[in-house]
Amino acid sequence: MTYRLDEIDRRIIYELMRDARNTSAPTIADAVNVSPGTIRNRIHQLEDHGIIRGYTAGIDFEQAEGHLTNLYVCNAPISERKSLAREASVVPGVINVRELMTGRRNLHIMAVGENTEALRRVTRALSQLGIEIEDETLVEAETDSPYSSFGPEDETPGTEATDFISLAGDANVIDVTVDETAPIVGCSLEEAVRDEILDDDSLVIAIERGDEVLTPHGTTVIEPDDLVTVLSRSGRTDAVLEAFVTEASRTEQ
């Protein structure tokens, strides 16, 4: 059973996502006009229900003696995905494992190594577990943002992309919510590429629609309010966003 959040819970989550290290109970209490004790109690409840799972430090591994960060996009049999994710998480060097509800490319694994040989050891270890590595690339930078829907009503996001990860070279991964009148709405992915709404260098790798996570196919039709994850090999973020966000929305930003 899911835990029902109220406005205080949402603001706590938002503020902690924005800066957990420098955000105190009194600071959040002032923002939502309740006592610090109430905030502390709510944080304990959110932790007890597994909503707040922990507090982690954001590390720039390149600054830490030039360590390399690598993203592995992997395939795992659906029936074994969860167990393989657990096994992958204990491989030396692995710092994050994300399970996706898709048929392919359903495990994203992040690993850190002091050099390319260390990353090759991670690659071999993952392969020995039976995980198929479909693609891998060095991560140049990663930016986290709080979930804006849980924030103050008068605070608007600074970009139409809800999340953005820059990969090695020019590539990047973008999460974007589809506007109702965006050019790609009502088109299948095949049609979007054929009609040059979506360029050949862009690959839709996941679609969240309501409570569902869809595996994109050529015949998948894009609908308004879909949350779409796009891999852009060329890094042409503006061109990708033009397909999913209207000009009016970009101007308002």
Q: How many CA atoms lie within 13 A of 42 on its CB side?
A: 23
Where does the pLDDT of residue 156 fall: very low under 50, low under 70, confident under 90, or very high at 90 and above? very low
249 within 8 A of 177, measured Cβ to Cβ: no
Where does the pLDDT of residue 158 fall: very low under 50, low under 70, confident under 90, or very high at 90 and above? very low
The rounded distance, in Å, linking the Cα atoms of 210 and 227 is 9
Q: What residues does 174 pair with on adjacent strands?
A: 164, 230
The rounded distance, in Å, linking the Cα atoms of 83 and 95 is 17
More confident: 80 or 253: 80
Summarize the confidence of residues 68-87 as an average pLDDT: 94
| Nearest by Cα to 223 from 163, 162, 181, 174 | 181
**pLDDT of 251:** 42
Q: Which CATH architecture has domain 68-141?
A: 2-Layer Sandwich (3.30)
- Is the pLDDT confidence value at 162 over 60? no
The rounded distance, in Å, linking the Cα atoms of 171 and 150 is 30
Determine if the pTM surpasses 0.95. Answer: no
Its sign, for the CA torsion 5, 148, 107, 193, is positive
137 within 8 A of 123, measured Cβ to Cβ: no
- Is the pLDDT confidence value at 212 over 60? yes
Q: Which CATH architecture has domain 148-252?
A: 2-Layer Sandwich (3.30)
Domain 7-48 belongs to what topology?
A: Arc Repressor Mutant, subunit A (1.10.10)
Token pair 């059973």 is found at 1
- Is the pLDDT confidence value at 155 over 80? no
User: Which residue ranges make up each domain of the chain?
Assistant: 7-48, 68-141, 148-252
- Is the pLDDT confidence value at 59 over 90? no
Between strands 94-99 and 107-113, the pairing is antiparallel
Where does the pLDDT of residue 60 fall: very low under 50, low under 70, confident under 90, or very high at 90 and above? confident
The rounded distance, in Å, linking the Cα atoms of 162 and 184 is 18
Residue type, 30: D
- Is the pLDDT confidence value at 161 over 70? no
181-203 residue pLDDT tens: 999 999 999 999 999 999 888 89
119 within 8 A of 93, measured Cβ to Cβ: yes
The rounded distance, in Å, linking the Cα atoms of 194 and 185 is 14
One fold for both 68-141 and 148-252?
A: yes
Residue type, 73: V
6-55 residue pLDDT tens: 888 999 999 999 888 888 999 999 888 888 988 999 999 999 999 999 88
Summarize the confidence of residues 149-176 as an average pLDDT: 65
Summarize the confidence of residues 70-97 as an average pLDDT: 95
What percent of the chain is modeled with pLDDT above 70? 89
